[in-house]
């Protein structure tokens, strides 16, 4: 077949673009794909875990850096470092996308952290006050052309 290579041979991988509701469910079940599910896919050349997924940004809580319609790729196998962006399950069982800031370790050895919106009009979520679970860490941010 000469010089023709498949996508897999050049390191391109299909990542499912899932909803915020499905991402919230990942806190309970790390497996994304079912035989009957149909997804839109995002292609990436990143080396990421099997359960990596993509989300389309909704809302304005992470403006100005993240705009509605931007796409992020999230790897559930990567532990966040201070200042990184994460997807977490909120108390409504949906995903939320925020900046991660570790605090202290609680007396029961559970890590305490804050999830910070970049838009100051939204409140910070504190894990010792609101039940929240980290689902994964953002590994890629895709910005698409914006009309002025």
User: DSSP state, 124?
Assistant: P
Coil, helix or strand for 9? helix
Give the model's pLDDT for residue 1.
47
Give the angle 75-37-62 at the CA atoms, nearest 5°: 40
Residue boundaries of the structural domains of the chain: 8-142
- Token reading at 118: 């970049």
How many Å from the N-terminal Cα to the C-terminal Cα in the chain? 46
Out of 2.10.109.10, 2.60.40.10, 3.20.20.70, 3.30.500.10, the CATH code matching 8-142 is: 2.10.109.10
What would the pLDDT profile of 1-27 be if each residue is shown by its tens digit? Answer: 456 655 555 568 899 999 888 887 776
For 61-113, write each residue's pLDDT tens digit. 999 999 999 999 999 999 999 999 999 998 778 899 999 999 976 566 678 99
pTM: 0.83
């Amino acid at each position: 077949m000469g010089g023709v290579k498949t996508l897999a041979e050049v390191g391109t991988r299909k990542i499912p673009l899932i909803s915020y509701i499905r991402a919230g469910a990942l806190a309970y079940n790390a497996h994304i794909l079912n035989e009957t599910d149909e997804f839109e896919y995002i292609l990436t050349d990143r080396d990421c875990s099997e359960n990596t997924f993509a989300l389309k940004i909704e809302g304005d809580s992470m403006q100005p850096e993240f705009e509605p319609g931007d796409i992020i790729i999230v790897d559930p196998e990567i532990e966040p470092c201070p200042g990184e962006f994460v997807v977490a399950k909120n108390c409504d069982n949906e995903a939320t996308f925020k900046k991660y800031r570790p605090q202290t370790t609680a007396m029961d050895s559970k890590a305490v952290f804050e999830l910070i919106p970049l838009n100051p009009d939204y409140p910070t979520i504190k894990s010792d006050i609101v039940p929240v679970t980290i689902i994964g860490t953002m590994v890629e941010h895709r910005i698409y052309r914006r009309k002025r």
